[in-house]
Chains A and B, each alone.
Chain A
Amino acid sequence: MSEATSSVTGEQALLFDGQHAAAEAVHIEHDARAGSWRIHRSDGNFETIAAMHVSSADDSDRVRSRLALSDGRLIELAQPRSGAWRVRDPSRVGRWIRERRNAWFSAIAVLLLPVFILTVILPGAVNLVAPRIPMSFEARLGETVLTSVTRSTLRPTSLPADVQERLRQRFDALAQAAELPTARLLFYSGMANAFALPGGAVVVTDELIGLLGDDHYLVAVLAHELGHVAHRDALRGIATHLIASQLLTVAMSQDELTTKVVDLVASNVLSAQYSQSVERQADRYACELLAKTKQSPAWLGDAFAKFIDLGKRYNTDLNSGTYTSSHPPTVERIAASKACAEEHGFMR
């Protein structure tokens, strides 16, 4: 090539005028020194276009370069760009993507950032917002949740009135010691379960009462639920779930079926991790509350041990309403309960 010494390079290209879909074969020259472009038309004429009227940015090395002219015309080169033709995306993101080894940093960030967001940023945001939500609103939310749950999974209780009265007295004594005026106990029939609602209502099922047998165990379980009431965990849980699911929808907002699968599995696994710390807190709270009311914190551990015995038959969880279990391993919780009992001098 005789142009080797000059700054001008030329190439075949297609010109689309934007008036109709046909392409005109042109020869285009780029003067790197002047920064201008010259288009040799098929009729033998040529036009010179200053750099300011040409824009182009590619994020791929394999695609043919395109020049968009400010008058709406478009030029596509016959070859993938090379040498002087390279008009690379000058933005910071564009440069980052071009560098091959950066892919590893990006990939690691994609794996770690969601964990960081869901375990640090999200609870932080909820901690910031939850205390500012008025109690009256939380109570409303609790009623909404209860209506939905009673309609779908709970039936009226068939517990004798005297048993109800006896358990309610023990619950009220606990709530008083915990200084939780909004806490109240509700009896229903359904799967063996106990859970705290937003606004302070604690629901316990006849089936769980029957399963635990002894009042001691039930009191320990109720103390755990009061821990959820004290920390407003139900409200936090709902807020966390709402924000997390919206965040994931935004992060994965592409029309791909696969992303929906990843989305759901990821949110399940990660939010379970978050709620384990909430359960540990409630266990700790129950231990302190039981000790404060001169009752053995070891009862909670005994109740868990009872679940393990029966666990093979009943999928029981001291859960706050979610169906995929998100509690720490039961053995670990029993050990923690025993340790707490010893700490407070309740040795059996």
Chain B
Amino acid sequence: MCRGLLNRGTRANRVAFWKNPFEAPPPIPRAPLPSESAALVLQEAERAPEDDVDAVPEDRRQAHTRQRDLTLQFTGDTWEYFRLWTATQALIFLTLGLYAPWARVRRTRYLARHYRLDGVGFEYRANPWAILKGKLFVYALLIVGVALCIWSPLLIAPLVLISFLPLAWLLTHSFRFRWQTFRYRNIPFGFIPDAMSIFWPTVLMGVTTAYVTMASFGGVGAAGGSWGIFVGLMLSMLLALLAWPYVTSKLLHHRFSNALWGASRFRLHCTVGEIFNMLFASGKAFYFAIATIFTFLNVLSLMIKNIDLRSLAQATAYLLLTVAAVAYGRTRRLNYTLNRLQIGNEIAFVSTMEPRHAGWRAMRYGLASVFTLGLAIPWATIDFARWRTENLIVRLDGEWSSFPAFAPNAATKGAIVDGLAEQFGIEVGW
């Protein structure tokens, strides 16, 4: 009891609610001062932007009386992880990639064990052989696909489309595999696959990708000359800008709302539409800043006389800024989702990762990694893990004993489809 109270006090002080820097901060609800009229305070409250999508919901800002904030730490050590990472990376290169599943298991196991919630670390258990089998199967399929596409370029678009048909099934089983490999307090996580619920979104993604592939092969709009190509390009960009955020939002929603910890179901208190809308609700200033910097850097790069160096500089700038923009969008969405997530009735999350910081962080990590030829990746991983734990609060309302295990435990199923799903380049991890 005493510990819970203490925790609440110290953690609450550390929480800084971030806001859009280009908007006035919402006024804090308060009682009128002796010299003020109640109407003034009411007016002030009315000005509070109710639709500030990035803010932590009102009911999560402070812990209820029965809840206690659990301590969340990351205790991993940069040099220790550096040793682990470089050794496994060298083995990946030595085996031309065959060691990759073992490396993944070893690294994830290390990171999971050092995430300590309420004093107890997480656990990761996966069978590298299963992951390897999945990868090899994917490569066999890829070789056949590439050969077919070369044989007849007309097959490219249909093949892309067909390959997206089983994607819903692949993704749900991939989610299940990923959830099942983690456990906390000796209770495994789980996932209830519901492929039908994401079937149409993944088909939409397939249509978009097939269309973009066709457009880049000039099949679309070529009849109308350069004008037609332009219209086709704009159309495909529009599709990609709307279809991808929608589909990934749907997948994020699915990944959390169908997850289990033991027998306790995850519950997500928002719809896919709300997640999708929040992406466009604000953040224009950040994207505008990114676009401005990109233009500026491009103009600046014209001063580089050597063509090779110039194109390398431009590519690097483009990549880094894309990475920043993606990290920014993802962090906002993850905050939004975590702040509406519950496990059973007892566990709630408050995520306060500042999206702009996430963007600059991603850029810094990228830059450091480029200049060290990859050797900074372990540092970036550990640094990010620390930052994440500092900006995530987990609240428990009740006792650990109220979380029972789930009886049927089909462990490590779905490793093959996990490899398949990975090939689509969709973010299946987090």
Interface residues of A (CB under 8 A from B): 14, 16-23, 58-64, 66, 72-74, 76, 93, 96-98, 100, 102-103, 106-107, 109-111, 113-114, 117, 121, 137, 140-141, 143-144, 147-148, 150-152, 242, 246-247, 250-251, 253-262, 264-266, 268-269, 272, 315, 323-325
Contact = CB atoms under 8 A, between A and B. Distances in A.
Interface of B is mostly: helix
B279 to A, nearest CB: 18
Contact of A20 (B89, B405, B430): B405
A268 B312 contact: yes
Contact of A22 (B96, B362, B366, B399): B399
Given A20-B401, A59-B106, A256 B380 contact: yes
A58 B84 CA distance: 12
B106 to A, nearest CB: 7
Nearest to A153: B218
A97 B272 CA distance: 44
Given A103-B79, A110-B374, A254 B323 contact: no
Given A22-B401, A137-B150, A257 B375 contact: no
The 7 tightest CB contacts between A and B, nearest first, are A151-B218, A16-B186, A250-B97, A106-B86, A113-B93, A22-B401, A255-B429
B169 interface: no
A76 B307 contact: no
Interface string B84-102: 1011111111101100101
Nearest to A100: B83
A144 B120 contact: no
Interface of A is mostly: helix
30 contacts: A14-B120, A16-B185, A19-B405, A20-B262, A21-B401, A22-B401, A22-B403, A60-B113, A62-B114, A64-B121, A66-B121, A73-B186, A102-B83, A102-B87, A103-B82, A106-B83, A110-B89, A121-B96, A147-B153, A254-B104, A255-B430, A256-B381, A257-B326, A258-B377, A259-B369, A261-B369, A261-B370, A265-B312, A315-B307, A324-B312
Nearest to B320: A261
Nearest to B149: A144
B97 A96 contact: no
A265 B262 CA distance: 43
A168 B426 CA distance: 49
A257 B93 contact: no
Contact of A117 (B84, B93, B401): B93
A145 B315 CA distance: 24
B307 A253 contact: no
Contacts of A258: 323, 362, 365-366, 368-369, 376-377, 380
Q: How large is the interface on B (under 10, 10 to 19, 20 to 34, 35 or more residues)?
A: 35 or more
B373 interface: yes
A347 to B, nearest CB: 33
A265 B308 contact: no
- With a 10 A CB-CB cut-off, give which of B86, B184, B327, B377 has the most chain A CB atoms: B86
Contacts of B77: 60, 62
A106 B216 CA distance: 41
Given A257-B327, A258-B369, A110 B400 contact: no
A20 B100 contact: no
Contact of A60 (B100, B110, B380, B405): B110
B427 interface: yes
A96 B315 contact: no
B296 interface: no
A23 B185 contact: yes
Contact of A110 (B86, B104, B123, B362): B86
Nearest to A264: B319
A121 B429 CA distance: 32
A202 to B, nearest CB: 20
Given A76-B120, A247-B97, A93 B91 contact: yes
Contact of B311 (A121, A144, A325): A325
Given A63-B75, A251-B89, A257-B323, 20 more contacts: A18-B187, A21-B404, A60-B113, A61-B80, A66-B123, A93-B102, A102-B83, A103-B87, A106-B89, A107-B86, A109-B93, A140-B151, A144-B150, A150-B218, A247-B97, A262-B370, A262-B373, A262-B374, A272-B308, A324-B311
Interface of B: 75-77, 79-80, 82-84, 86-94, 96-97, 100, 102, 104, 106-107, 109-110, 113-114, 120-121, 123, 135, 139, 142, 146, 149-153, 184-187, 216-219, 222, 262, 307-308, 311-312, 315-316, 319-320, 323, 326-327, 362, 365-366, 368-370, 373-377, 380-381, 399-405, 422, 427-430
B226 to A, nearest CB: 9
Contacts of B376: 258
A67 to B, nearest CB: 12
A269 B308 CA distance: 10
A151 B96 CA distance: 37
B327 A18 contact: no
A100 B146 CA distance: 44
B224 to A, nearest CB: 13
Contacts of A257: 323, 326-327, 362, 365-366
B417 to A, nearest CB: 16
A251 B373 contact: no
A251 B93 contact: yes
A14 to B, nearest CB: 7
A163 B142 CA distance: 45
Contacts of A63: 75, 113-114, 121
A253 B100 contact: yes
A89 B315 CA distance: 43
Nearest to A250: B97
B317 to A, nearest CB: 11
A72 B254 CA distance: 30
A329 B224 CA distance: 41
B107 A254 contact: yes
A257 B400 CA distance: 35
